[in-house]
Amino acid sequence: MPNCLAARFVLAASGHVAGVINPPARNERSHWLNDRLASNSWLEKAEEKSGCWWPDWDAWMKRHSSGICPASTQPGNVRYQSIEPAARPVCEAEIQLMRLCELEYFRKSIHMCIN
């Protein structure tokens, strides 16, 4: 059972996509922390921290976890049975095709901007 009293809200300065594609090393964004969840003035009392929220989340997760365990080699378990096989992996030929399509889209976009 998770410790609901340990719940925490962190407000990021960027959307979910920017938070994923901008690794912490870039240090481009900021985030706000305030451990009082029930506050009507949460943002006013929150502390702005420079940098990505990932390291803060990682530290919080480590404080609230029982440690690292090896990944399962089989899908599902006794309580949660696998309902269907996972999607097949993308093959190298498909990856190359996607890259070519992206390149062609980029070329067309540049051509439209120039002309």
pLDDT tens, residue by residue, 55-111: 888 888 888 888 888 888 888 888 988 888 777 666 777 777 777 777 666 566 555
Q: Which of 26, 33, 27, 36 is nearest to 12 (CA)?
A: 33
Residue 60 located in a structural domain: yes
Residue 46's domain comprises: 4-66
| Count: domains in the chain | 1
Q: E-strand spans in 21-102?
A: 30-33, 47-50
Read off the pTM. Answer: 0.52
Residue 21 located in a structural domain: yes
| Rounded Cα–Cα distance for residues 94 and 58 (Å) | 34
- Phi and psi, residue 50, nearest 5°: -75, 150
Residue 92 located in a structural domain: no
Q: What is the DSSP letter of 8?
A: -
pLDDT tens, residue by residue, 14-63: 776 666 666 777 777 888 998 887 778 888 889 999 888 888 888 888 88
